């Protein structure tokens, strides 16, 4: 079978009773009729069986605000530490 | 100290004013009077151990007198410099106060600036409930933002930078003069109870607001002291850090020292930006507005540092509109 997108060769795999055709070229996947529904059903069964408590959210990063300068931006300005307007700003109303 | 990168907006102090301040100075001090450099709207004369300050033109007597009563009392001793006399005098049409002389932070050596000492002093100030002091007006922070942005209207041609600053200003909720919606974080710019804990703010803190006096650092300048959210006192360094101007290590040293000293404006742990976001964004807008106004007066382009503030305003607009659309979903 030929890939409808890039015309590469499609190879057939079977995963838990679902036929999957994957293109060797672009890695695209083709599903037969009804197979997407089968996958969805299997996924929901799996998640019901494995209904473990949700993993704790990652600890919040308190380093910088969401509107802060992106990190790579930092180094750039410290070189201008002595710039008149920067020093003036540190000391003025 | 001048406005950010600015030149004099007001005419130089008259000889008459300087003479009048000098006469007050020799009454309280112990050396011939000399004029000290400061911001253009204020005039300061030092006579040895005493410093005489002519407040900005148009300053109102009663709020200043209330602030002098607060700093002349015992509760702020060791935190905010006590005046030589609590009296508010006049020289011509200017209000005048007298203070002990101190040694300011050296602007030639900003790396050696006493950030930790400043943080501890602010934590100590914020620990004093406003209700423990003689009645005070509101702290000066929030109102200054809109006033500084309004100065752009008096400037020369409308620039792209000025438009960004105005847009950022109007995206901020609940500030005087801003058309931004009033959201949940507005309430935080005022303390929960105006005389309870965590209700006192310096109102205008930066590195020029500390001197060394009798061997110790102490806060100076009561002009904006009042009832307000103390998080505004951390807002300038927070804004500089968020803009990428203040080195992260310096900011974290300052914040850690403030927290270690029990500072109430941000919690002892957790995300400090929950309390700092709005004041730091407001100060970013104010600093950017002052920079655009200064460049306009001087007929020059923004320098690199000033442009960084405009970039920060642009991120504030994006951040605020993203938050707003998330709220309304």
The per-residue pLDDT for range A15-37, each reduced to its tens digit, is 777 777 888 887 788 777 777 77
Q: Does the CB of A90 have a partner CB in chain B at under 8 Å?
A: yes
Answer yes or no: do A91 and B206 touch at CB < 8 A: yes
Task: Name A2's bridge partners.
Answer: A9
Answer yes or no: do A85 and B110 touch at CB < 8 A: no
Q: DSSP letter at B29?
A: -
Of A60, A78, A92, the CB nearest to B39: A92
Mean pLDDT score of chain B? 89
Residues of chain A with Cβ-Cβ distance to B291 below 8 Å are 85
Nearest to residue A93, comparing CAs of B164, B56, B199? Answer: B56
Answer yes or no: do B248 and A88 touch at CB < 8 A: no
Answer yes or no: do B110 and A87 touch at CB < 8 A: yes
Per-residue confidence (pLDDT) for residue B107, from 0 to 100: 87
Per residue in B225-237, is it b (16+ CB within 10 Å) or e — as a string? bbbbbbbbbbbbb
User: How far apart are alpha carbons B201 and B192 in whole angstroms?
Assistant: 14
Query: Nearest residue on chain A to B305, judged by CA atoms?
Result: A86
How far from the centroid of its chain's Cα atoms is residue B131's Cα? Answer: 22
Q: Does the CB of A58 have a partner CB in chain B at under 8 Å?
A: no
Q: Name the pLDDT band for B187 (thresholds 50, 70, 90).
A: very low
Per-residue confidence (pLDDT) for residue A72, from 0 to 100: 42
- Classify burial at B298, counting beta carbons within 10 Å of its beta carbon; exposed 0-12, middle 13-18, buried 19 or more: exposed
Per-residue confidence (pLDDT) for residue B168, from 0 to 100: 96
Domains parsed from chain B with CATH numbers? 1-101 (3.30.200.20), 104-329 (3.90.1200.10)
User: Which of A66-75, B99-108, B165-174, B224-233 is the least confident region?
Assistant: A66-75
Q: Does the CB of A76 have a partner CB in chain B at under 8 Å?
A: yes
Per-residue confidence (pLDDT) for residue B291, from 0 to 100: 94
**Enclosing H/E stretch for B34:** strand B34-36
Task: Name B200's bridge partners.
Answer: B227
Tell me whether residue A5 is in a domain: no
Of A67, A78, A85, the CB nearest to B319: A67
pLDDT at B155 over 80: no
Residue A36, domain extent: 10-46
Enter the tokens of residue B44. Answer: 């300061």
pLDDT at B125 over 60: yes
pLDDT at B245 over 60: yes
Residues of chain B with Cβ-Cβ distance to A84 below 8 Å are 5
Per-residue confidence (pLDDT) for residue B2, from 0 to 100: 39
Mean pLDDT score of chain A? 73
Rounded to two decimals, the pTM is 0.79
SS3 B61: helix
Enter the tokens of residue B171. Answer: 């995206």
Query: Nearest residue on chain B to A60, judged by CA atoms?
Result: B271
Per-residue confidence (pLDDT) for residue A29, from 0 to 100: 81
Answer yes or no: do A80 and B305 touch at CB < 8 A: yes
Q: Name the pLDDT band for A71 (thresholds 50, 70, 90).
A: low
Mean pLDDT of B210-233: 96
Q: Name the pLDDT band for B321 (thresholds 50, 70, 90).
A: confident
Query: Nearest residue on chain B to A89, judged by CA atoms?
Result: B4
Of B107, B272, B319, the CB nearest to A62: B272
Answer yes or no: do B319 and A62 touch at CB < 8 A: no
Q: Name the pLDDT band for A63 (thresholds 50, 70, 90).
A: confident
Tell me whether residue A17 is in a domain: yes
Q: Name the pLDDT band for B327 (thresholds 50, 70, 90).
A: low
What is the number of domains present in chain A?
1
Kindly report the nearest CA distance between residue B242 and chain A, in angstroms: 4
pLDDT in tens, B18-57: 999 999 999 999 999 999 988 888 999 999 999 999 999 9
pLDDT at B13 over 60: yes
ipTM: 0.82
Query: Nearest residue on chain B to A70, judged by CA atoms?
Result: B244
Percentage of residues in chain B having pLDDT higher than 70: 89
Tell me whether residue A24 is in a domain: yes
Per-residue confidence (pLDDT) for residue A75, from 0 to 100: 41
Q: What φ, ψ does residue A7 adopt, rounded to 5°? A: 65, 15
Of A8-12, A66-70, B321-325, give the range with the top mean pLDDT.
A66-70
Tell me whether residue A52 is in a domain: no
């Amino acid at each position: 079978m030929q890939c409808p997108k890039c015309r590469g060769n499609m190879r057939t795999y079977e995963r838990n009773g679902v036929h999957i055709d994957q293109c060797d070229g672009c890695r695209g996947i083709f599903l037969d009729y009804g197979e997407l529904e089968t996958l969805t059903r299997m996924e929901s069964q799996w998640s019901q069986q494995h209904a473990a408590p949700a993993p704790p959210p990652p600890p919040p990063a308190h380093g910088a605000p969401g509107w802060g300068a992106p990190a790579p931006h930092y180094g750039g300005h410290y070189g201008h530490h002595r710039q008149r307007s920067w020093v003036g700003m540190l000391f003025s109303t | 100290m001048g406005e950010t990168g600015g030149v004099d907006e007001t005419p130089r102090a008259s000889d008459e004013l300087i003479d009048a301040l000098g006469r007050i100075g020799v009454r309280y001090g112990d050396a011939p009077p000399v004029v000290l450099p400061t911001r253009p709207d204020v005039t300061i004369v030092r006579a040895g151990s005493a410093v005489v300050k002519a407040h900005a033109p148009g300053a109102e007597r009663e709020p200043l007198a209330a602030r002098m009563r607060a700093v002349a009392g015992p509760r702020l001793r060791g935190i905010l410099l006590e005046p030589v006399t609590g009296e508010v005098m006049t020289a011509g049409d200017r209000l005048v106060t007298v203070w002990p002389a101190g040694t300011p932070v050296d602007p030639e050596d900003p790396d050696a600036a006493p950030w930790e000492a400043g943080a501890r002093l602010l934590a100590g100030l914020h620990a004093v409930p406003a209700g423990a002091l003689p009645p005070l007006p509101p702290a000066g922070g929030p109102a200054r933002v809109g006033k500084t942005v309004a100065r752009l209207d008096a400037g020369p041609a409308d620039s792209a930078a000025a438009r960004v600053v105005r847009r950022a200003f109007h995206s901020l909720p609940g500030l005087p003069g801003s058309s931004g919606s009033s959201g949940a974080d507005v309430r935080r710019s005022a303390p929960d109870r105006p005389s309870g804990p965590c209700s006192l703010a310096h109102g205008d803190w930066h590195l020029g607001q500390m001197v060394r006096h009798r061997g110790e650092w102490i806060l100076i300048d009561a002009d904006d002291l009042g009832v307000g959210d103390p998080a505004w006192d951390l807002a300038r360094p927070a804004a500089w850090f968020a803009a990428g101007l203040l080195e992260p290590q310096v900011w974290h040293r300052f914040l850690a020292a403030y927290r270690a000293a029990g500072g109430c404006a941000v919690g002892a742990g957790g995300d400090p930006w929950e309390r700092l976001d709005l004041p730091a964004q407001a100060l970013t807008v104010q600093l950017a507005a002052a920079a655009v106004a200064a460049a306009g007066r001087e007929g020059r382009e923004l320098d690199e540092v000033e442009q960084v503030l405009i970039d920060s305003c642009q991120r504030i607009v994006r951040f605020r509109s993203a938050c707003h659309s998330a709220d309304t979903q």
